[in-house]
Amino acid sequence: MRRTRKTTLRVNGTDHDLDLAGPERLLDVLRDRLGLTGAKAACGLGECGACTVLVDGRPVVSCVTLAGTVRGEVRTVEGLAEETAELRAAFADEGGFQCGFCTPGQIVRAHALLTGDPGETDVRRALAGNVCRCTGYAGIVRAIQRTQRREIDDDH
Ligand code: FES
Ligand code: FES
């Protein structure tokens, strides 16, 4: 008989009791068990950022994270929909996506930048781990900088 391990994963504000069959990737649990397909499966090596989610507010590549090791709250692009409305609109306006495959990961990573360390303002450096094969990055950077400027203005 195959052994399973019980764990509780908190995702987007809801606790999920799961029986993990061995070392299951967080990405697979989110996509296949919880139906949260925003995080994309691409390289599977932690190198492209398409699978980025937040764990306690910090970006994590879910393809190289074991679900059973996650201790904090996971937030996916679906769970960030409301908070990223302005950022997503800026991506649309500035040509921040073409095929859109990398976009959920870019949005999650950008949201962490915009809500995290105020000392980290370099958008290109913050997004260095998120690969886009389509856009050439200029539209992505413009979209994030536009949202960043708005947030700074709102604070004053
Ligand atoms: S699919 Fe996870 S980093 Fe590429
Ligand atoms: S928009 Fe196609 S990979 Fe980024």
Residue nearest to atom 3 of ligand 1 (CA): 46
Residue with tokens 């492209």: 48
The structural domains of the chain, with segments of one domain joined by +, span 5-75, 85-154
Ligand lying closest to the C-alpha of residue 49: 1
Ligand 2 pocket, Cβ-based, cut-off 6 angstroms: 97-103, 132-135
Tens digit of pLDDT for each residue in 18-66?
999 889 999 999 999 999 999 999 999 999 999 999 999 999 999 999 9
Residue whose CB lies within 8 A of the most ligand 2 atoms, among 40, 132, 144, for a mutation test:
132
On whether the pTM is more than 0.85, the answer is yes
- Tens digit of each residue's pLDDT (9 = 90 or more) over 119-147: 567 899 999 999 999 999 999 999 999 99
The CATH H-level superfamily of 5-75 is Beta-grasp domain (3.10.20.30)
Note whether 5-75 and 85-154 share their fold. no
CA distances from 12 to 29, 73, 82, 106, 138 (A): 14, 7, 12, 18, 30
Q: Assign domain 85-154 to a CATH class.
A: mainly alpha
Establish whether residue 77 lines the binding site of ligand 1, counting it when its CB lies within 6 angstroms of any ligand atom. Answer: no
Count Cβ neighbours within 10 Å for each residue of 144-156 and write b for 16 or more, e otherwise: bebbbeeeeeeee
SS3 state of residue 14: strand
Residue 55 Cβ < 6 Å to ligand 1: no
Could you tell me which of 67, 94, 91, 77 has the C-alpha nearest to residue 12? 77
